[in-house]
Copies of this chain bind each other. A is one copy, B any other.
């Protein structure tokens, strides 16, 4: 009586649907109690051959699909509340699904973001995973892109450019002898580290924020345009990993390549000067390093990137675009 589709949902995804709002995945819809909060909604899809590689381990594909959404929620200051999943599969490959579901379930538990529902469809094309995730903020607590003000410090979390280098290594566009560094960079590409633990600090201290997913330079330009302001960036202060510094030293990449590469999933925010110390301390408690890389200024021009001598750094490309 039950179909293959229902069987695979029951086998692989029902065990993940522990939240009462998921209704055991037996219904057409899930239930989200408002509970006085504002709900923040974000949706991001990843496609085989575009956002992940066909031979990426299934558990890392699942984690990436969820984490790119968790990154958006964190940047908005929102605490995860749950997600729905659309999975477009060529065939019901049991091994792949078992590993995918294990990865997804592990992350859903680790980030307290339960699976609430979904849709599984067949496709003759590449595997695609679309997730819509929900987060909660107190009323009017969502941190927007549009509210940066002149004088705010431009702050980024973690390190920039690692994932783009990881992809270059995976696709053979770059080589690196140091196996540990290589694995670290590939790990950044395959399994982003969304800054979920920073949500409350972002909500408390940042005036505007977004996640860095398409390249720091392009995403900063978007934040500035949305806020109707500009920025001056000290290019030398952009936080880089040891591996990225080593690649620069070997002449394999320059700063422009690192700040225009995608998949960082760090948070970029505008923090008022007088809240910077408190934000840095709160981030430290959450285990996240934050770095001030510049200042928001008035104006409508594109953000300027300056080197230590105050010279303009040329950025031929700002970010990744699908079209």
Contact = CB atoms under 8 A, between A and B. Distances in A.
How many copies, total? 2
Interface size class of A (residues with CB under 8 A): 35 or more
Contact of A145 (B27, B34, B73, B318): B27
Contacts of A307: none
A296 to B, nearest CB: 17
A41 B47 contact: no
A84 interface: yes
A119 B44 contact: yes
A107 interface: no
Nearest to A42: B29
Interface in A201-215: 210-211, 214
A5 B49 contact: no
Interface in A140-190: 142, 144-146
B34 A40 contact: no
Contact of A43 (B34, B119, B225): B119
Given A23-B146, A128-B88, A322 B121 contact: yes
Nearest to A75: B28
A96 B184 CA distance: 42
B122 A123 contact: no
24 contacts: A1-B225, A2-B225, A3-B321, A4-B322, A6-B321, A8-B323, A27-B144, A27-B145, A29-B76, A31-B142, A32-B41, A34-B36, A41-B116, A41-B134, A43-B85, A43-B132, A45-B121, A50-B122, A89-B323, A91-B323, A122-B323, A125-B126, A130-B130, A132-B132
In the complex, the 3 A-B pairs of residues with the closest C-beta atoms, listed nearest first:
A125-B125, A34-B34, A3-B321
Interface of A: 1-6, 8, 23, 26-47, 49-51, 72-73, 75-76, 78, 84-86, 88-89, 91-92, 116-126, 128, 130, 132, 134-135, 139, 142, 144-146, 210-211, 214, 218, 221-222, 225-226, 302, 318-323
